[in-house]
Copies of this chain bind each other. A is one copy, B any other.
Amino acid sequence: MARRPTIRSVAEEAGVSPTTVSLVLNNNASAIPEATKERVVQAVRKLGYRPNPSARALSSSQTHTIGFITDVIASSGYAGRSIAGAQELSWANDKVLLIVNTGGDAAITRAAVDMLCDRQVDGVIYAAMSMCGVDLPEALLQIPTILVNAYDRQSRFPAILADEELGGYTATRTLIDAGHRRIGMLYGVPEVDAGRERLIGHRRALDEAGIAFDPALVRADCWFPEGGYRSTKALMTLDEPPTALFCVNDWVAMGCYEAVKELGLSIPGDLAIIGYDNHELAGLLRPGLTTMQLPHYDLGRKAVECLLAPAGSVAPNAVIRLPCPLIRRQSV
């Protein structure tokens, strides 16, 4: 099998030294005349030369590689989108992603971090599948690190998060702008940070519009369709039922749909509904579900952007929040 050309063969072909070739290829060739450069470039092309990354890594300690650690690859497909976002921006910058999935296991996480240190990655992205606080191994302090959809309990690393509060605000605001004044919220379980923040945003929108918050219109314990179904039935039999509902996620919204249908009401005529997550089925419901989209792709992309930024330009305790776009369909 034909050996690949080396920098030496290129140098010979161009009639220069390996140093010159290296200089030209790495854009450190400010002092080299165009003519020489051109000869080198021609030789490279002619031989089809491609530098050997291992050799480059050994002598420069730069691998052009970014480690991407995930805790749990949820079946939801969200992980995939963050990975895609990170991968695409990496690719555009000639970097490549090294992936490890820890299953949430602390020992594996430690081992993964060690492995990434060994491999001299340029940076590490730690992505959690459901937003939460995490404790990460000390060793990560040696490498530029950034968290996605998670925050470090000790604030040692910057975090990129979806702006859930703003999302909750926007969702409710959308309902208000559509003319609603009696707006309920099917709120998730308190353990989930995201749900809590969405509720805060919901209340802010209400306040801002001068609508008194009515605890009777908020139902907790909704996370799956079943909960949405039950809560909707309960709310719609109130003396003064809501005319619009903000659901903590699309699953809950699906439960609403079912309840509304059974009650013989119509969406959005009798009840406007807005969800959260832009689940793959949201667009297939009848009517299409208006919802807030989690910016997983953007989170991954932003993480790489931060890693690529000049050292020090992102404070270690920075928290960057990315907006959740509103996906307008027909349910509001």
Chain B residue contacts of A1, Cβ below 8 A:
142
Contact of A114 among B50, B68, B91, B119 (CB under 8 A): B50
CB distance from A174 to the nearest CB of B (A): 23
Contact A52 B84 (CB under 8 A): no
With an 8 Å Cβ cutoff, the count of chain A residues facing the other chain is 51
- From A94-102, A154-162, A180-188, A233-241, give the one contacting chain B: A94-102
Determine if B96 and A84 form an interchain contact, defined as CB atoms under 8 angstroms apart.
no
Could you mark each residue 107-143 of chain A with 1 if its beta carbon is under 8 Å from any beta carbon of chain B, else 0? 0100000110011100000000000000000000010
Q: Which of A33-41, A163-171, A279-287 interfaces with chain B? A: A279-287
A80 to B286, CA, bound (A): 29
- Check A256 for interface membership: any CB of B closer than 8 A: no
A73 adjacent to B78 (CB under 8 Å):
no
- Residues from chain B with a CB closer than 8 A to the CB of A73 are 80-81, 83-84
Chain B CB within 8 A of A57 CB: yes
How far, in Å, is A188 (CB) from chain B's closest CB? 15
Pairwise interchain contact B284-A251, C-beta atoms closer than 8 A: yes
Closest to A281 in B: B281
Asked whether, in the complex, the Cβ of A96 is within 8 Å of the Cβ of B119, the reply is yes
On whether the beta carbons of B96 and A96 are closer than 8 Å, the reply is no
Whether a CB of chain B sits under 8 angstroms from the CB of A178 is no
B50 with A226: CB separation less than 8 A = no
Return the chain B residue nearest A280 by Cβ: B75
How many angstroms from the CA of A284 to the CA of B58 in the assembled complex? 52
Q: Bound complex: CA of A55 vs CA of B57, how far in Å? A: 8
CB distance from A169 to the nearest CB of B (A): 25
Docked CA distance A250–B99 (Å): 30
- Which A residues, 53 to 93, have Cβ-Cβ distances below 8 Å to chain B? 53-55, 57-58, 61, 63, 65, 68, 73-81, 83-84, 87-88, 91
Closest to A52 in B: B118
A201 within 8 A of B: no
Q: Which residues of B contact A80 (CB under 8 A)?
A: 73-75, 77, 79-80, 83
Residues of B within 8 A of A225 (CB): 281, 284-285
B53 pairs with A55, CB closer than 8 A: no
Indicate which residue in B63, B75, B91 contacts A77 across the interface (CB closer than 8 Å).
B75
Pairs across A and B, CB under 8 Å, 21 listed: A52-B120, A53-B118, A53-B120, A54-B61, A54-B120, A55-B58, A57-B58, A74-B80, A75-B280, A77-B77, A80-B83, A83-B99, A87-B100, A87-B101, A91-B101, A96-B100, A97-B98, A99-B99, A224-B284, A225-B285, A251-B284
